[in-house]
Structures are given as C-alpha cells and as structure tokens.
Amino acid sequence: MTTTLNTTKETKIDTEERIKIREIEMVDVIVMVGSALSAFALSYFFFQILLPVSGALGFLVCWYVFFNIISTVAVWELRGAIKAKDHLARVFIWTGGLAAVVPLILVLVYVIGKGYHSLRPQFFTQDQKFVGALSESTEGGGAHAIVGTLEQVGIASLISVPLGITTAVYLNEVKGRLTKPLRMIIDAMSAVPSIVAGLFIYAAWILALGNQQSGIAGSLALAVLFLPTVTRTSEVVLRLVPGGLREASLALGGTEWRTTSRVVLPTAKSGLVTAVILGVARVIGETAPLILTVGGAFVMNANPFSGKQDALPYFVFRLIRFPQEAQVARAWTGALVLVILVLVLFVIARAIGGRGPDHISRLKKRRLKRKGLA
Amino acid sequence: MTSIDITSTDTTRMSSDISLLDPGHQAAGLTANNVACWFGTKKVLEGVNLDMAPGQVTALIGPSGCGKSTFLRTLNRMHELVPSATLAGEILIDGVDIYRGAIPVTDVRRRIGMVFQKPNPFPAMTVAENVLAGLKLSGLKTTRSERDELIESCLSKAGLWNEVKNRLGDPGRALSGGQQQRLCIARSLAVSPQVLLMDEPCSALDPTSTRRIEQTISEISETITVVIVTHNMQQAQRVSHRCAFFLAAENEPGRIVEEGPTKDIFTNPRDSRTNDYVNGRFG
Ligand SMILES: Nc1ncnc2c1ncn2[C@@H]1O[C@H](COP(=O)(O)OP(=O)(O)OP(=O)(O)O)[C@@H](O)[C@H]1O
Ligand SMILES: [Mg+2]
C-alpha cells in the first residue's frame, strides 16, 4: 500500500524486509477452520438429531462450546498447555468483544432501516400541526420535538456542567471538610431512577410551587440526572492530572485558584469534555422524567419557560403506540434523528475538546500568534 | 520546641514589596534555625542549622532517605502541601521568618523558586507560555515587548534559546527530557526569584545537558542564591561553594553531620562518616 503511494512521488523506498511479528501460520488457520467445521457437525448431530429440542440460539451455543473444546484440545496437542490456555483466553476475549459490539450495530442498522423512509427535510422544519390520522408518514415532522430536546438538554447542561465541575474541583482540589458527605450525596444521586427524578420535579416544582408543565421543568428533571454523571467523571479526570503540575504551579507563586484555573483545568480539558459528553448521553434519551414535566406537544413551542413542550424520546414513545402505520413510521424516524443528533453533538464536542493536553488546537495557535507567542 | 501552625499564618494577600521583572533584584540569604520535620508522627529531620549565604551555591548531599528533599521543601513552604506534614524551628529570608512573618506564602514561593527532580512543564501550554507561566499564575500583566524579552533572556540563561527559538509554539512536552528540564529552569527564572532550590535537577539527564545546567547554575549564582540537592559528588564539587552532609541513622531523624566550604568537606572532612560518604564508601 505505502510503496505504491510513494513511488508516484519518487521518494526513497525502504528495501529492508521488516520482521513480521504475529504472523499467522497456516497450521493455526487449519486448526481453527477444522475445529469450526467439526464442531458444527458435532453440534448438528447432538442438537438436531439426539436431543428433542431445536432452535437457532441453542444450536449456536452448542457450536460455540464444541468449538472451544475441540480447538483447545487441538492446540494443546500441537503446541502444549500454555499455548492452549492462551488460545482459549483469546477466544473468550474475542467473543466478549463481539458480543458487546454486535447488538450495538444491530440496533443502529434496525433504526436506520425503520426510520429512513420518512426521513425528509421537512422532518427538521415542520411540526405535527397539519398531520391528520390518515396523513402519509412523510407529511409533517418532528421539528418541535428536536427544538424541545435541544432546549431541555441545553438548559440542563447549563445548570449541571458548571455545578458539576465546581463540585469535582471541590472534591479533588480543595478537599474541604464536606468532601465525604458530598461524595455520598453524589453517589446516591447517580442511583436515582430517572422516573423518580421526574416525580421529584413534578412534586416540588409543579405541585408545590404551582408552576405549569414546561421545558424548564423537564430541564430541571434532566439536571438531577446529569449532575452526578458530570461530577463523578470530572472528579476522576481531575485526579489523573499529575500532582507534580500542581506543585510546580504553587512553587511559582501561584494561588490555589490560579493553579486550578490555569493549570489543572486546561490540562484536564479533553477529559472534562468527555465528562460532559457522558452526561449528555445519559439524559438525551430519557423519556420517563419528561412525561410528567414537559407534558408533550404536537406543535412547535420554542419557549422553554412557558407552555408544554415535546422532546424526541417522548415523541417516539407517544407515536410508536398508535395503530396507524404512518405514526409508527414517524416514531422510527424520530428515533433515527435522535441517534443522529447524539452523533453530531459528540463530533462537535470532540472538535472543541481537542485531543489531550499535548495537542495545541488551531484556534489556540491563532490566538498565540496574535499575542506574539508562536 | 513548638511546632508551627501552618494554617494560621497562611495569608494570601498580595504584597508589593518586590517587583517582578525587576532586573536589579538581589540574591537573598536563607537561614535555617533548629529545623525539625515530621510526617504524621514520624520525625524525619531534627536540629538542622544551616546558613545559605546570598549569591552562593549550597549543595546538600547525603544518602537516600536522610531528609534532603524534605529540608529543601521547608525552605519555600512546599513541605506543608503534604497533608500530614508538620515542622518546627525557623527559616529566615534576609532575616524575615517565612512562616511567622508578614510575607504571604505566594510571595515566599515566588521569591524562593524550585526546580524539581522530574521535568514537569505544563502540558497544556506551549514552550513560550511555559516560560511566562509564573507571571500568568501571579496575575501579572505584561506588554508584548516585555514578554518577548523575558522569553529570550530566560531561555538563554537556561541554555535553551538556540534549540527552541523556532519552536516556541510547540507544546512544552514535545521537547526532550533534558530540554524540558531546562525549560523548567527558565520558567523558574522568569519570576526573578532571589533563591532557587533544585532537587536533583540533573538526575534524569545526559552528561551534556547536565554540564549545561551546571553552567547555568554558575551563571545565575551571581544574582540568585542556589541550594541544590545532588547525589553526584563531582557535581557538588563543580558547582557548590558550600556543602552540607545529611545523615540519618536507622530509625532516627536525619541531621546535618558536617557543613562547611565544599573544598574542606571533600578534601579535609572533620567527621569520619563524611569522609566515608564523599569517598563512596557508603550511601
Ligand atoms: N510524603 C511522605 N509521607 C511520609 N513520609 C515521607 C514522605 N516523604 C518522605 N518521607 C520520609 O521522610 C524521609 C526523608 O525523605 P526525603 O525524601 O527527604 O529523603 P531524601 O534525602 O530526599 O532521599 P533521596 O535522596 O532518595 O531523594 C524518608 O524516610 C521518607 O520515607
Ligand atoms: Mg529526595
């Protein structure tokens, strides 16, 4: 690959033959393929013919177990006990990795397959005002739900991110007397079921204080879930900043506040962005806390402070239960848009957060140029 | 002996008695009187008396674990950063007690700079920003020409200017280990300290970088008092005017066994243990 690219530019091509570490030998391939085939045959025999049960899942499990036994024995014969254990561990880790990734990909593929039919530009510009029971699924859109979700999650992060990072700084940099109780409260908060967060805001903000259902009520409920995630992740990230940097800053005559704001936080910046991403990911798909707080709506209400609002997950939750196929199709499109939204937010966050402290972003380079420092 | 309550004297108000960037600042003398240190209940240092005269290089030598670093860190109030750490005695800079006196702790640390054993440039800052970090951390405003001048003069003093003058915008950690250490020295020099404490500054460096740093120490010692911990006997002889030999007997706190002009310590020590140590017979 590289050589063909290089020849066109007439650069010097390295002629030394590089040592191939981890080369897979033919024998190994034969052992694997052979084990897989004989395990298939064996499990077919046992599962389909001898046992009175059948089914794809049972067959797969049977095949997997036979494959492990046969291939391990084969490797043992060929290369000894250590290699056999190594082989078995490798198979387990590979299956574990696959088992984690496969459902994820399946979900994505499924959502895309179900949702892309009615994904039209107007999904991002129209609400459900003129959508009747017999409308096509491509009519109307989810703009009101997208706006609702963005506003609710946006306000929730405006509340939780500064508060969470400040708390993390307190827990890790100040280490005051309240560290222990505070950490306990944060731990307890992260265990709060999301419906309880919704109920809490419903009882405290809407029933007790007499407010109406609105976007802000939803934001408050989401903030309850957002805060502990940001705090705990930020705390871990701040703990990873080497103590030597703090000492160096203090030894230069820095105050604790300047040490934190000029040295610790900038060093941890990309990790803190990850903390925020995890927080957003935690709340953006939440439905339960929103049902009681935002109320749901079919028309655009861009004002989060008054009137009911919709949110994408809530939109999906409502429409998917309709008998009309068109509504169900819209719900799937809503789910797909939610996935896309999360993806876009993550890409933006990564672009802002940069790639770790040693990397100096283009934006910062320009600022330094202006100050004559680069 | 009463131990010092660190928190009660921990004032952080800014004093204006020293001007940063003031080229006419003077090296200051440090005096330690009867200093003792504890980590929790464990006493690691006892009865340390040492005069570090202005404009001189003092080397602290001794076997591992005898309390050299601990002593060095009491000299600019870094010792108290360890939660369990306490101390007793007094440390004077030009006759003023740094623990009980009126100098705020941030000013103490700015006047008495420190270079650590491991190079620790700030990773989120460029080479140039690292040099200016001390000013930023003290909240000092500077003009562009002042900054340019400071960057060049500090990096030149640290013997690094020629290597990095075209790389001022690179991240601090993109430099080699030796370059990073010299960057840290430049960073310390930028706040015009009167004293510079160095804890084994060359232990991770190659001979060439080591020589460069030794050269730097000789050059700056005219205007800055230097206290250096080193395990390298040749280095102690090359750079220091005076030398203090620390020793801790087993399960005993460390003490200064002998202190005096470097030449005497190495050629004509009064104590037989000093003789053994400087000739490599133990430690
Ligand atoms: N943070 C700490 N907590 C508890 N004990 C400590 C701590 N730091 C150092 N000590 C103890 O204090 C004693 C002196 O340590 P110090 O680091 O001053 O030795 P040193 O002379 O600098 O040794 P070296 O030459 O190996 O750097 C040692 O016995 C050490 O175990
Ligand atoms: Mg030490």
Which CATH number goes with the domain that contains A307? 1.10.3720.10
Task: Summarize pLDDT for B175-228 with one digit per residue, the tens.
Answer: 988 899 999 999 999 999 999 999 999 987 888 889 988 999 998 988 999 999
> What span, in angstroms and rounded, lies between the C-alpha atoms of B87 and B47?
11
* A362, A363, A364, A367 alpha-carbon torsion, rounded to 10°: 120
CA distance B226 to B185: 12
Neighbours of B23 (CB within 10 A): 8
* Amino acid letter, B19: S
Partners of A253 on chain B (C-beta within 8 Å) are: 106-107, 109-110, 134, 137-138, 191
Instruction: Tell the residue nearest (CA) to atom 25 of ligand 1.
Output: B64
Q: What is the 3-state secondary structure (H, E, C) of B193-232?
A: CCEEEEECCCCCCCHHHHHHHHHHHHHHCCCCEEEEECCC
B137/A365 touch (CB, cutoff 8 Å), yes or no:
no
Give pLDDT, residue B15. Answer: 39
Place of tokens 């404490």: B197
Is A245 within 8 Å of B122 when comparing Cβ atoms?
A: yes
State the residue for tokens 């397959």. Answer: A113
Q: Is A198 in the same domain as A284?
A: yes
Residues A184 and A223 placed together within one structural domain of the fold: yes
Number of domains in chain A: 2
Q: Are residues A154 and A252 in the same domain?
A: yes
Residues A183 and A94 in one domain: no
Q: What are the beta bridge partners of residue B198?
A: B115, B228
State the number of CA atoms in the 13 A half-sphere of B6 facing the CB: 16
Band (A19; pLDDT cuts 50, 70, 90): confident
Contact B147 A374 (CB under 8 A): no
Provide the b/e sequence for A65-81 (b: ≥16 CB within 10 Å).
Answer: ebbbebbbebbbeeeee
Same domain as A337, residue A292: yes
Confidence of residue A356 (pLDDT cuts 50, 70, 90): low
Instruction: Report the alpha-carbon distance of residue A98 to residue A281 in Å, rounded.
Output: 23
Q: Which of A76, A101, A116 is the last residue of a domain?
A: A116
ipTM computed for the complex: 0.88
Segments forming the whole domain that contains residue A37: 26-116
| Whole-number average pLDDT of chain A | 88
- Model pLDDT, residue A28: 82
- Of residues B147 and A354, the one with the higher pLDDT is B147
Residue ending a domain, choose from A100, A116, A132 = A116
Ligand 1 in contact with B67 (CB < 6 A)?
yes
How does strand B225-229 pair with strand B195-199? parallel
- pLDDT number for residue B4: 60
Q: Which of B107, B123, B147 sits opposite A357 (nearest CB)?
A: B123
pLDDT 10s digits, A101-133: 999 899 999 999 999 888 888 888 888 888 877
pLDDT in tens, B222-247: 899 999 999 999 999 999 999 999 99
Instruction: Identify whether residues A190 and A319 lie together within a single domain.
Output: yes
- Report the pLDDT value the prediction gives residue B101, as an integer from 0 to 100: 82
| Amino acid identity for residue B212 in this structure | R
Summarised one tens digit per residue, pLDDT across range A128-147 is 888 877 778 778 888 999 99
The 8-class DSSP code of residue A12 comes to P
DSSP string, A307-359: S-B--HHHHHHHHTTSSSHHHHHHHHHHHHHHHHHHHHHHHHHHHHH-SSTTP
Assess whether A170 and A275 both reside in one domain.
yes
In terms of domains, do A169 and A71 share one? no
Amino acid occupying residue A326: A
The secondary structure of chain B in percent helix, strand, coil, rounded to multiples of 5, reads: 35, 25, 40
Q: Say yes or no to pLDDT of A222 above 60.
A: yes
- DSSP SS3 for B260: strand
| Residue A251 to residue B184: CA distance in whole angstroms | 11
Whether ligand 1 lies within 6 angstroms of the CB of B70 is answered as yes
Co-location of A334 and A220 in the same domain: yes
Q: Which residues of chain B are under the pLDDT cut of 70? A: 1-25, 282-283
In a 3-state reduction of DSSP, which class is residue B118? coil
The rounded Å distance from CA A280 to ligand 2 centre is: 45
Please state the rounded mean pLDDT for residues A37-58: 82
Question: How would you class A144 by CB atoms within 10 Å of its CB: exposed for 0-12, middle for 13-18, buried for 19 or more?
Answer: buried
Asked whether residue A12 is domain-assigned, the answer is no
Per-residue pLDDT at A366 exceeds 70: yes
Class for the domain spanning B30-119+193-278: alpha beta
Domain ranges of chain B: 30-119+193-278
Confidence of residue A47 (pLDDT cuts 50, 70, 90): confident
CA distance readout (Å), B267 to A221, A290, B243: 76, 82, 12
- pLDDT of B21: 45
> Is A15 inside a domain boundary?
no
Tokens 């994904």 -> residue:
A119
What pLDDT sits at residue B190?
93
